[in-house]
């Protein structure tokens, strides 16, 4: 089981989603925040600045773990030392894939299968996969896509029983998935529902990375990229096979990044944030404006 006080080295962390105070302290661990920012983004309240300040000071005024300066900037009283940059090859990665009963956890859809594949030092080092009882029916359309039926998950453990194993797989590693928002959103929902934990940490989307590195491809679906790199996916839309293929894809993309001298997380993040320059519009004579 996880030691919750263990240093994760910049990888994924799970926190109890309980008190507002703990949420603020967790947010300040990433850097100082202004009073208004704490009120609006952490506490989720808006209004007149004096009222916001009063709410924040009521919550944090006697808390010894935080300090505030004359400009209303809050920070931790004992700052967390900055994480030393590591090369991509030195990072610990966990490639995740989930199969679900549908596309929206906010509508009650649940996880039916979860897989995690560890990537370290440029190779796959371990893997984990389990079916999950979603405690609801699986639509026939989803069963025809994934091959996972109600009968298959009837004897599987519910997510709350596999959550400790999933936590061990995730914590301290960079979370990777093909279309990462989907898998992240479902696991966040399941963690909150079953244990009251909130997930936070770095995420890497192999779809976005492939778009930057392989802009000439007509599709960056997992199947298309597997064909491009000659990767075999034994059972498409099953969590473990998709996660293994995504991990193999990640390693290929890291090789391409190295060729571009992109060797650490900051450089990867910069590449993903970089926008394509817009084509310049040719200037027209003023008399053409009304044409």
User: What would the DSSP string read from start to end of 218-259?
Assistant: S--SHHHHHHHHT---SSTT-HHHHHHHHHHHHHHHHHHHHH
Looking up tokens 């090859």, which residue turns up? Answer: 89
Q: Please give the pLDDT value at position 84.
A: 65
Q: What is the pTM of this model?
A: 0.75
- The answer on pLDDT for 141 being more than 80 is yes
% the chain with pLDDT above 70: 88
CATH 1.25.40 fits 19-76, yes or no: no
Instruction: Say which CATH topology domain 92-273 has.
Output: Nucleotidyltransferase; domain 5 (3.30.420)
Mean pLDDT of the chain: 88
Q: Please give the pLDDT value at position 93.
A: 98
Distance CA 73, CA 244 (A): 45
Q: Tokens for 41?
A: 């983004």
pLDDT digits (tens, 9 = 90+) for 213-253: 999 999 999 999 999 999 999 898 999 999 999 999 999 99
Pairing of strands 174-177, 203-205: parallel
Active site residues: 237
150 class by beta-carbon count within 10 Å (0-12 exposed, 13-18 middle, 19+ buried): middle
Q: Please give the pLDDT value at position 9.
A: 56
Angle at 57 between CA 56 and CA 63, to 5 degrees: 105
Q: What are phi and psi of 51, to 5 degrees?
A: -65, -40
Distance CA 203, CA 182 (A): 12
Q: Please give the pLDDT value at position 3.
A: 34
Tell me if 175 sits within 8 A of 91, measured CB to CB.
Answer: no
80-101 average pLDDT score = 87
Distance CA 16, CA 197 (A): 4
174-203 average pLDDT score = 93
pLDDT digits (tens, 9 = 90+) for 204-217: 999 999 999 999 99
Tell me if 131 sits within 8 A of 112, measured CB to CB.
Answer: yes
Closest CA to 25 of 60, 54, 51, 49: 60
Three-state DSSP class for 177? strand
Measured in residues, the chain has a length of 291
40-63 average pLDDT score = 88
Distance CA 25, CA 76 (A): 7
Three-state DSSP class for 160? helix
So where are the chain's domains? 19-76, 92-273
Compute the half-sphere exposure of residue 224: CA atoms within 13 Å on the CB side of its CA: 13
253-257 average pLDDT score = 97
Q: Please give the pLDDT value at position 279.
A: 61
Q: Please give the pLDDT value at position 198.
A: 82
Q: Please give the pLDDT value at position 278.
A: 61
Q: Which residues of 258-291 are buried (b: 16+ CB within 10 A; e: fewer)?
A: eeeebbbbebbeeeeeeeeeeeeeeeeeeeeeee
């Amino acid at each position: 089981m996880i030691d919750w006080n263990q240093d994760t080295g910049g990888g994924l962390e799970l926190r109890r989603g309980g008190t507002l105070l703990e949420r603020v302290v967790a947010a300040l661990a990433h850097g100082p925040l202004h009073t208004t920012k704490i009120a609006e983004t952490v506490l989720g309240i808006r209004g007149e600045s004096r009222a916001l300040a009063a709410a924040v000071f009521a919550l944090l005024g006697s808390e010894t773990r935080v300090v505030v300066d004359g400009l209303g900037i809050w920070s931790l009283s004992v700052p967390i030392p900055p994480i030393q940059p590591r090369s991509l090859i030195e990072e610990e990665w966990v490639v995740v894939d989930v199969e679900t009963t549908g596309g929206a956890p906010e509508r009650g859809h649940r996880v039916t299968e979860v897989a995690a594949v560890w990537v370290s030092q440029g190779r796959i080092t371990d893997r984990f996969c389990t079916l999950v009882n979603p405690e609801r029916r699986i639509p026939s359309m989803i069963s025809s896509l994934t091959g996972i039926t109600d009968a298959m998950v009837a004897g599987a453990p519910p997510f709350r029983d596999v959550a400790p194993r999933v936590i061990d797989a995730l914590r301290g590693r960079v979370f990777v998935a093909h279309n990462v928002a989907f898998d992240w959103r479902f696991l966040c929902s399941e963690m909150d529902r079953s244990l009251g934990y909130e997930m936070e940490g770095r995420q890497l989307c192999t779809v976005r990375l492939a778009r930057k590195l392989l802009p000439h491809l007509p599709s960056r679906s997992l199947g298309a990229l597997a064909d491009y790199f000659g990767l075999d996916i034994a059972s498409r839309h099953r969590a473990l096979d998709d996660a293994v293929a995504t991990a193999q894809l990640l390693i290929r993309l890291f090789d391409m990044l190295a060729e571009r001298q992109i060797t650490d997380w900051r450089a990867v993040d910069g590449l993903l944030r970089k926008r394509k320059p817009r084509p310049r519009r040719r200037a027209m004579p003023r008399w053409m404006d009304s044409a």
